[in-house]
Structure formats: C-alpha cells, structure tokens
Amino acid sequence: MDMVMQGMREVLFFGILPDAAAAAQMTGLGRELANGDRLCPADRLHLSLLGFQLDVWRRDTLLAIARRVGAAIATEKFDVVLPKACSFARREASGSLVLRCAPAATGLLTRLKDGLGDAAAANGRNLRGPSRFTPHVTLAYRAAAISETTLDRPISWRAREVVLIRSEQGRGRYTYVDRWPLGST
C-alpha cells in the first residue's frame, strides 16, 4: 500500500547534524524559548540542505541516486554558527522556533546545497526547488511567534560530515541512511 495513503510520507534529505554539545545547548535553549510547545528531540536536530519525497515505487532508484549525489560532495569541514533565534511562519496558524545561521556559514551551506543540486541534476534528478534557502535548525514546531533574538552566546559546532536521512513524516522517525565525511581542515 502506498505510504502516502497510510498517512505517512517518506522524505530523503541531506543534512548536517550538530555534535552532542551543540545539540544539548539547543535543547536547553528550546526549553527556554518554546513556552511548552513541542520540542524537536535532541537526536533529530539537524540543518537541512536538500531533500525530496521518496516515491515508494522507485525507492531503490532514488536511494541509488542520493548515494551518488552524496559521493560527489567536495567540501571542507567548516564551522556552523547559529547566533539568532526567531520564528518561521507557516501557512497554518502556528510556526516553528528556529536558530538561524551566521552569514559566513550561510554562504558555505548555500554552496554545499547548490553542489548537491548540481550532482542530483547530473544524475537525472532535478532537486532545485525554491531558490530561497535560509539555513536553520528547527527547535520546536507549533511555537508561538518570537521576535528575532540575538543569543548571548552563539551555538556552534564543526561540520564534519553530510548525512543522508530518511524521515517518516507522520511517525517522527529518522533513519540515517549514509554519511560522507567532509575534507580536512
């Protein structure tokens, strides 16, 4: 039976995972700012780069393409710095509480995302989507809106790998499908 018909969608996406210290800081900050809204579990915190819906009928083909795209990553390790908390509005009445990247990390992440998009296109899968890309980590969903806030101390970590994640939306499950280390520096 089609996964969408069962109320669940599968999505594959490339992301950067925070290290344990950064994830713990984010969880603590989320508790402070989210006013009891549904927090993202520490083990699912991530910064999304590029994703696509996983078609149940072509799962193996799409996974193979995603693995070729991941294998094409040619980026050095870099620091992800999150100095601001804010709300992202959604179409529904509620939104999400996020941490936004500093400009230097935003440029690096945008180039990484664009490189993944180029590799996907070279493998027959156009994943361009909307041109607007705002690198962020979501701390809570259905969060009450907050004004953009500069953190006293930015949350940061060294990005050392890109991870391919399968998300079972509607069940809140993530499966880490594959990982590609970033170059040395």
- 151-176 tens-digit pLDDT: 999 999 999 999 999 988 666 788 99
Q: Is 117 helix (H, G, I), strand (E, B) or coil?
A: helix
Tokens representing 134? 């705002």
Tell me what pLDDT residue 2 has: 41
Contact 3, 10 (CB under 8 A): yes
Tell me what pLDDT residue 185 has: 59
Tell me what pLDDT residue 160 has: 96
Tell me what pLDDT residue 1 has: 36
* Beta strand extents in the chain (DSSP E only): 9-16, 38-39, 47-53, 78-89, 95-100, 136-143, 149-159, 161-169, 173-181
Tell me what pLDDT residue 132 has: 76
Tell me what pLDDT residue 52 has: 78
Q: What's the pLDDT tens digit per position in 97-111?
A: 999 999 988 999 999
Tell me what pLDDT residue 34 has: 82
pLDDT beneath 70, residues of the chain: 1-8, 56, 90-94, 127-131, 169-171, 185
Tell me what pLDDT residue 83 has: 97
Q: What is the CA radius of gyration of the chain?
A: 16
d(Cα 156, Cα 99) in Å, to the nearest integer?
11
pTM: 0.87
